[in-house]
Each structure stands twice: as C-alpha cells, then as structure tokens.
A and B are shown apart, each in its own frame.
Chain A
Amino acid sequence: MLGKLMVIFVGSVLINNFVLTRFLGICPFLGVSQQIETAVGMGLAVIFVMTLASVFTWGIQYLILLPLGLRYLRTVAFILVIAALVQLVEMVIQKVSPALYRALGVYLPLITTNCAVLGVAILNIDEGYSLVESAVNGFAGGAGFALAIVLFSGIREKMAAAPIPESLKGYPIALITAGLMSIAFMGFSGFDLNRLFGL
C-alpha cells in the first residue's frame, strides 16, 4: 500500500513532472516565474488546490456521476467543482489566516484556469486511482509543479542580467530554458520505481 503510494508520488513529482513532461500548467509556469518569491507562493497555492480538487472530483465521479449514469458530464461537473472550490478556498483562507491569504491571495483566482488542476482530476479517474491514491497524486502533481516553477524562477532571476540576443528576450529564451530543464528531468525516466520501493 505504502509502496504503491510512494511510486505514485515520486512518479508524479520527478518522472512524469506535470510541467516539464506532461505540459500541464504552462501558462502560470511562464507567467509567474519572474521572481523566486512569487513562484514559491504560486507553487504552494497550486499544491493546496490540486490536493483538494483531487479529493473532491473523486467523490463527484464515484458518488454522483457513475451511480446516476452521467459519465458524459464529467468535464462540465469537474470544472464547476474546481471553480467553486477555488472560490471557497479563497474565502476560507481570508477568514482563517490573513497572513496566508496575503501570501497566496493573488494567485488563487488564477488557478481555476490552470490546466494542471483539471488535468490531475481527469488523470486520477483515467488511471482508476482510489481516493487515497488520488489525493497523493494531486499533492505530488502540485509538488512537481512547485519544484519546477521554483527552479525555473531561480534561473530566470539570474538570466535577467545575462546578455541575451534581442530577438530571444522574454518568452523565447524562457521556453528554451524550460526545454533544457526538461532534458534534465528526462534523466529520471530510467528509474525502475517498482523495484526501488520493493513492489
């Protein structure tokens, strides 16, 4: 049980990294990675929302949509749940912890259209994960996103002072950098996780 969860966790953080291998959540990855500080905030907010969204959409799928034979409503139901969830999380954090709200507040509304959130919800269902496995996969996906965006923002901070050809400034060089990071992450794909965790 624990072994399988570890396989899912390491798999989603490193091997099938949501940003660098699966291409989910590219917009915030490119848009909010100018500074390490904001990247950390965005990363934490995404971990939080992806974990919650995984749990809630699992419930929607197996307790409502499947018993009622409404599988085709999955996309509509999931995106509405995620939009509502993000709003709710924003309101709760604002009431409970103003400090956390100040840190995460501006990023939360952006997360509704972060495709990593809807992506993890759909992947959980496609892979047939249980509730606990879904939650772990959601957390790991968010952690992978946070890892990628924090590393990337560190590189971009350094790059601000580098002599870059005029035409490549801004997004082009950012994308090429992300490509090089992606090559580095491909190095993890050789891991035999099942053996590593004794399955």
Chain B
Amino acid sequence: MSVGKDLTRGILAENPTFRLLLGMCPTLAISTSVMNGIGMGLAATFVLIGSNLIISLVRSFIPDKIRIPCYITIIAMFVTVVDLVMAGFTPALHETLGIFIPLIVVNCIILQRAESFASKKPVINSIADGLGMGLGFTLALTVLSLIRETLGTGAVLAAPDFNFAGLRIIPEEFKALIVVMAPGGFITLGLVLGFINWLTRRVGVQDL
C-alpha cells in the first residue's frame, strides 16, 4: 500500500476517535478548550510518530511473547519526553492537561497502531501512519473542543500560555457551563457521533 494512503487513512476514513472509538478518556476529558485539544492532539501525534518509528525499526528483534511490554516501554519513553518538554515550554497547558499527559501511555490509539501497523510495516509507512492517525486525533479533538468551548464558555481560542482571553461569541450571561463540565463531554461526543452516523447513512459515504 502506498505511503500517501497510509497518511490520509487516519484522518477521515479510519479516524481514531470518530470511527474507531479509541482514546476516549483524553478525548472527553480535555476537549474543554481548543487550545487544550490541539495541545493534546499534537502531543499524541509526536508520541505516535516516535513510537511507530522505533517499533517499526526494531520489529524483527522483539520476541513475540513480550512484545506488549516492549511497546509500552517505548511509548512511555516518548511520553516522558513530551511531559518534560511541555512542562518547560507551555507550563499553563501542562497544568491544565495535568494527569492526561502521562496517561498518553495507555491511550489505546497508540498501542493499537503499534500492534496492528508498526509491528508489521516498513519504517516510512509507519511514520506516515503515525502522522495520519495523530492528525485525525487532533482534528477530532479540535472539532469537539470548538463546540464545547463555544457553548460552554462563550469564547473560543482562549490560550493562557499566550495571554489571550479568547474571542467572545456568546455573551457571558448566556454561556452553558454544563457543556464544559463532565456531563457535557459525554453528551457532546454522543451527539457528534450520532450526527456522523446520520451523515454517513444519508450521504452514503461508506468508503470515505
């Protein structure tokens, strides 16, 4: 299969969040502002590319029986790198994402790509796959957080790391705080998935 196909597949056709329903915990927890969504998406993308690259390189040396612990160790190494870099350069974002940065280790998207793609395919394809899946995850987080931040706080693109309070779209008095709280995460994702199902059936885009 061509490298281009490996790259684009993760973005729409096999979008990890909307199509494969992987990595639900960070998706629900941090999609409260677009900045968080993009930050988490890019962090996961970096880990995906890195772990896919290394796992693809060493795939013939890893004994089959202990492959999962090996993968997890490689992934955890990249997560530690991301954790330290973010703590240094974007402290406010690091603070908001909090526990969900170390938890990238157990994000099932990354382990699933390692197990079902990088452990079988050449290096170039694996990098393309990691990048595509990472971008798909980032896209999904951006869409969700755009909805939740707009409805829940009334302003979008708030970025404490860059001293930006956000563009106000809905007046302060009319914001629906529940959308950025825990229940809003579940309900927004449920409705977005339902809408995608409806669209898929309606338009008939089976092979998106």
A118/B102 in contact, CB under 8 A:
yes
B169 within 8 A of A: no
Contact of A113 among B24, B84, B108 (CB under 8 A): B108
A75/B25 in contact, CB under 8 A:
no
Contact of B182 among A20, A74, A119, A173 (CB under 8 A): A20
20 A-B pairs in the complex with CB atoms less than 8 angstroms apart: A22-B182, A23-B25, A25-B25, A26-B28, A72-B80, A72-B84, A75-B102, A80-B73, A112-B106, A115-B103, A118-B103, A118-B106, A122-B99, A171-B190, A173-B194, A175-B186, A176-B186, A176-B190, A176-B191, A179-B183
Interface residues of B in 169-193 (CB under 8 A from A): 178, 181-187, 189-191, 193
CA separation between A118 and B79, bound complex, in Å? Answer: 14
CA separation between A24 and B28, bound complex, in Å? Answer: 10
Q: Chain A residues with Cβ under 8 A from B111's Cβ?
A: 113
Shortest Cβ distance from residue B9 to the other chain A in the assembled complex, whole angstroms: 21
Interface residues of A in 149-169 (CB under 8 A from B): 165-169
A182/B80 in contact, CB under 8 A:
no
Shortest Cβ distance from residue A52 to the other chain B in the assembled complex, whole angstroms: 17
Encoded as 1 (CB less than 8 Å from any B CB) or 0, chain A from 98 to 139 comes to 000000000000001111001100110010000000000000
Q: Chain B residues with Cβ under 8 A from A171's Cβ?
A: 21, 190, 193
B97 within 8 A of A: no
The answer to whether residues A23 and B194 also contact, given A75-B102, A119-B103 and a CB cut-off of 8 A, is: no
A175/B190 in contact, CB under 8 A:
yes
A83 within 8 A of B: yes
CA separation between A170 and B106, bound complex, in Å? Answer: 24
B24/A26 in contact, CB under 8 A:
yes
Shortest Cβ distance from residue B76 to the other chain A in the assembled complex, whole angstroms: 4
Q: Which residue of B lies closest to A175 (CB)?
A: B190
Contact of A80 among B69, B178, B183 (CB under 8 A): B69
The interface of chain A, by Cβ under 8 A from chain B, is: 20-27, 30, 72-76, 79-80, 83-84, 112-115, 118-119, 122-123, 126, 165-169, 171-176, 178-180, 182-183, 186
Q: Chain B residues with Cβ under 8 A from A27's Cβ?
A: 22, 24-25, 108
Q: Which residue of B lies closest to A117 (CB)?
A: B106
CA separation between A34 and B106, bound complex, in Å? Answer: 23
Q: Which residue of A lies closest to B181 (CB)?
A: A186
A79/B105 in contact, CB under 8 A:
yes
Instruction: Report which residue of B99, B103, B185, B194 has the largest number of chain A beta carbons within 10 angstroms of its beta carbon.
Output: B194
The answer to whether residues A74 and B187 also contact, given A23-B25, A186-B181 and a CB cut-off of 8 A, is: no
B190/A173 in contact, CB under 8 A:
yes
Q: Chain A residues with Cβ under 8 A from B76's Cβ?
A: 75-76, 79-80
CA separation between A30 and B181, bound complex, in Å? Answer: 19
B186/A76 in contact, CB under 8 A:
no
CA separation between A79 and B162, bound complex, in Å? Answer: 33
CA separation between A176 and B193, bound complex, in Å? Answer: 10
Given A167-B197, A180-B183, A186-B183, 12 extra CB contacts under 8 A: A73-B80, A76-B73, A76-B77, A79-B76, A84-B69, A113-B111, A114-B106, A119-B99, A123-B99, A167-B195, A172-B194, A179-B186
B183/A183 in contact, CB under 8 A:
yes
User: 7 nearest interchain CB pairs?
Assistant: A175-B190, A179-B186, A179-B187, A23-B29, A172-B194, A176-B190, A167-B198
Shortest Cβ distance from residue B27 to the other chain A in the assembled complex, whole angstroms: 8
A79/B106 in contact, CB under 8 A:
yes
Shortest Cβ distance from residue A120 to the other chain B in the assembled complex, whole angstroms: 10
B83 within 8 A of A: yes
